[in-house]
A and B are shown apart, each in its own frame.
Chain A
Amino acid sequence: MAAEGARHLLFQSHMATKTTCISSQVSDDEQRQKRENVRSLAMGGHVGFESLPDQLVNRSIQQGFCFNILCVGETGIGKSTLIDTLFNTNFEDHESSHFYPHVKLKAQTYELQESNVRLKLTIVNTVGFGDQINKEESYQPIVDYIDAQFEAYLQEELKIKRSLCTYHDSRVHVCLYFISPTGHSLKTLDLLTMKSLDSKVNVIPVIAKADAISKSELHKFKIKLMSELVSNGVQIYQFPTDDETIAKINASMNGHLPFAVVGSMDEVKVGNKMVKARQYPWGVVQVENENHCDFVKLREMLICTNMEDLREQTHTRHYELYRRCKLEEMGLTDVGPENKPLSLQETYEAKRHEFYGELQRKEEEMKQMFVQRVKEKEAILKEAERELQAKFEHLKRVHQEERMKLEEKRRLLEEEIIAFSKKKATSEIYQNQTFMASGSNLRKDKDRKKAPAYRFELLCFDVRACETTGGPKDAEEGREGPSTVGRP
């Protein structure tokens, strides 16, 4: 104290206020002050900044508070009832079935108000926990959910244009783990789940449905549980004991962990007032009776004394751990390979170079592939074109040949026609001569017309003699005969 007095700047005034000294922190402060070259000052009057905490509180009241509770426990163990009892409200919820194939998490947000404090409470329940036959994957969805909330906050924090003051903080502040009251020991599932959760969230184990165990059994059970937790290295949340105003009560509560609770929203008349209790034929278990269960302790610890500490632990310990792991995973470090402090931007620049280099390489590859494909296609098309061309040529040739053949035929036919018409002419002359000779040939010709073997008999028919029977027509018919048959 004398050393501190020497360091104070003297100020002669009889209006100096008493400065209160916090003994435990004096030496620390002095060390720090020496380092920072900071002096303590005694003031000559009332300045007024003692209202600072009130200003802080006013601001917090304006903003409202946010609290997120995660309840992990088997179906039917009493999670919803306990939350109802804790906050003295009937949150709407229905009973969940036992037949879900996977564990899911259901989150609901409620707004509570007490005097001038507004609380945004989010309750996250596990649905289907412990119901599956194979429970290996039971705890994974819970861990994923917690990580997802941290991730969302991290993303918001890393944004360029961020709004952290209006951000609805959904990170889980406390996890109430419900242990079923077997009276023996922790189940393997419980141990496994708590082990995987303890580094991510503040875990407070509670013994649910504590009215199923008798007092002596309960005591043994608690000891067994705590020893199991300790021996397996599970770090449950310890109530803080560094602030002297709440250190004593916190320390004593730490000895009562895990709390054995009973939840109930039903009211039963005991004595002359209505209390929340569970009624059995053999008696009434009162929820708020400290002799019956630890509910009051839980409520006091959770809400009245340590809510702010839970939130702070979540933010400064669990979230920072997550953030650090996540960023290191991405390959970013604070310290470079030669142990010189490496600024984030250099690391990121390096990574970005890498990334863009790879991008460019991929682009090149794709370009090459593209060019190659185009070439191939071109080749194929050319091939096809050539084939077509060949076919065309071939067809043309064939066509030409056909034409020539036809031409040939036509020529022949024309020659034959000419020859025939010459023959006809000569035969007509011959006919005239024979007609003059005998007119009775007419009948013979008629007979010949009837005989089917002669197709060309009409040609020999005399044009003049057939005028009465439609001669020229017959003569034309005869000319179109398909085959040349010799003259009869």
Chain B
Amino acid sequence: MDPLRRSPSPCTSRPPSPRTPPCEMLGHVGIEAVLEQLKIKAMKMGFEFNIMVVVIAVIWLLIGQSGLGKSTMVNTLFKSKMWKSTLPGLGVPMPQTLQLQSVTHIIEENGVKLKLTVTDTPGFGDQINNDKCWDPILGYINGQYERYLQEEILITRQRHIPDTRVHCCVYFVPPTGHCLRPLDIEFLQRLCRTVNVVPVIARADSLTIEEREAFRRRIQHDLRAHCIEVYPQKCFDEDISDRILNSKIRDRIPFAVVGADQEHLVNGRCVLGRKTKWGIIEVENMAHCEFPLLRDLLIRSHLQDLKDITHNVHYENYRVFRLNQSHALPRGPGWVNLAPAPADLTATPGPWKVRWQAHDSSDEEC
């Protein structure tokens, strides 16, 4: 029916998938060298990582302080002055429009280059009426997906499409000690469907350890009650080792973090920390705050996973949603018909799509 669809050539187009057990090799061939090749290529090309920090500033915190310390957090995370934290003076009017500011840096460590983009969202939750304050953020996230999609469906497309999609969103929960506020819940519900969200308890030095634990349990309970799936999502655990690792992480979410970019001398060591009259809070000390956990999760162990989930799940959901917007198109392979991008890109695509099918069903590809 679709005149633009051609039937494939009559030759056997797909080789059958193997039903025989793996072949026995009689000696070393050298296949594992492909891992080295992969590494070399990846290092040559460099990596990209986009992180977004969202904070809902409670009005009383704004006065005199620079919010919940998100810029400091980012600086601490990457051990560099990524952001100059701004201190609005008294009398400075609160920003009327919600502006998203994005800064890109290239950082390098031992030959691995990382192009890091941090997007800040100042001025959220400041207004009297915060209805639909998530729209600009969702609009920005969907805008990045849109940009990638447009690049992908070009006929002459680039060798390496620049990836500006948000890989991870760090959500700062203010340390009220009670539970998640309605604004937080609304926001998280919408965000979780579009992007990987990692909630953290900001400025955790204002809570004692017991208060912290209680707060954490209550937040976890709230998240479960409202069906908010934060990263690492349960449905993407592939095998038993993943599940064990991720459930350990899930147990500690949201992390209670303290950010600091100044160094102090403690017991002869130079540590990053906040100096107060009653002591020094060491950022990298697990007894004081959970910053190392956050850092390990985001950078050392799950960075690639964050990117994968963004690419394979969130982006695909968005793509399906956009392609389905044109109703008259017959389903199935055919040329893509993208309806003109809606001015309001905040519509959220929908429920999860499971990323990996069970391994035995992948044989049905033939």
Contact = CB atoms under 8 A, between A and B. Distances in A.
Nearest to B323: A160
B294 to A, nearest CB: 12
Contacts of A59: 304-305, 308
B15 A170 contact: yes
B238 to A, nearest CB: 7
A305 B37 contact: yes
Prevailing SS type, chain B contact patch: loop
A198 interface: no
A435 interface: no
A348 B337 contact: yes
B357 A45 contact: no
19 contacts: A20-B110, A44-B79, A44-B80, A47-B78, A86-B29, A89-B25, A107-B12, A111-B18, A111-B23, A145-B11, A145-B13, A155-B333, A160-B324, A162-B316, A170-B15, A245-B40, A299-B29, A308-B34, A332-B155
A166 B365 contact: yes
B111 A20 contact: yes
Nearest to A19: B108
B31 interface: yes
Contact of B30 (A105, A165, A300): A300
A220 interface: no
B99 interface: no
B81 A11 contact: yes
A51 B296 CA distance: 11
Contacts of B263: 13
B29 A49 contact: no
Contacts of A90: 26
A166 B360 CA distance: 11
Contacts of A182: none
Q: Which of A33, A39, A52, A120 has the most CB of B within 10 A?
A: A52
Given A88-B27, A334-B155, A55 B333 contact: no
A114 B333 contact: no
Contacts of B337: 344-345, 348-349, 352
Contacts of A427: none
A325 to B, nearest CB: 9
A426 interface: no
A467 interface: no
B78 A43 contact: yes
Interface of B: 3-4, 6, 8-9, 11-18, 20-35, 37-44, 47, 49, 77-82, 104-112, 114-115, 153-157, 159, 238, 263, 270, 295-296, 299-305, 308, 312, 316, 319-320, 323-324, 328, 331-340, 353, 355-357, 362, 365-366
B312 A304 contact: no
Contacts of A19: 108
Interface centre among B13, B27, B40, B263 (most CB of A within 10 A): B13
B17 A109 contact: yes
A304 B238 contact: no
Nearest to A300: B30
A56 B29 contact: no
Contact of B105 (A40, A105, A151, A159): A40
B31 A243 contact: no
A38 B108 CA distance: 14
A185 interface: no
A323 B312 CA distance: 21
A237 interface: no
B223 to A, nearest CB: 26
Contacts of A39: 104-106
Contact of A47 (B106, B115, B299, B319): B299
A49 B112 contact: yes
Contacts, number: 285
A164 B332 CA distance: 15
Contact of A57 (B38, B111, B156, B355): B38
Contact of B25 (A43, A112, A165): A112
Contacts of B18: 109-111, 120
Contact of A160 (B27, B331, B362): B331
Interface in A231-270: 243, 245-246
Interface in A8-24: 9, 11, 13, 15, 17, 19-20
A55 B39 contact: no
Contacts of B38: 53, 56-57, 60, 308
Which of A37, A56, A62, A349 gathers most chain B CB within 10 Å? A56
B80 A42 contact: yes
A90 B27 CA distance: 12
Which of B3, B302, B324, B339 has the most chain A CB atoms inside 10 A of its CB?
B3
Contact of A88 (B25, B296, B304): B25
- The 7 A-B residue pairs whose C-beta atoms are closest, nearest first, are A107-B15, A55-B304, A308-B37, A304-B30, A304-B33, A155-B333, A148-B13
A87 B43 contact: no
A345 B338 contact: yes
Interface string A320-353: 1001100110101110000000011100110110
A87 B30 CA distance: 9
A97 interface: no
A273 interface: no
A122 B29 contact: no
Nearest to A315: B159
Nearest to B34: A307
B106 A38 contact: yes
A50 B353 CA distance: 31
Interface string A23-37: 000000100010011
A22 to B, nearest CB: 8
B228 to A, nearest CB: 25
A48 interface: yes
Contacts of B6: 151
A15 B271 CA distance: 11
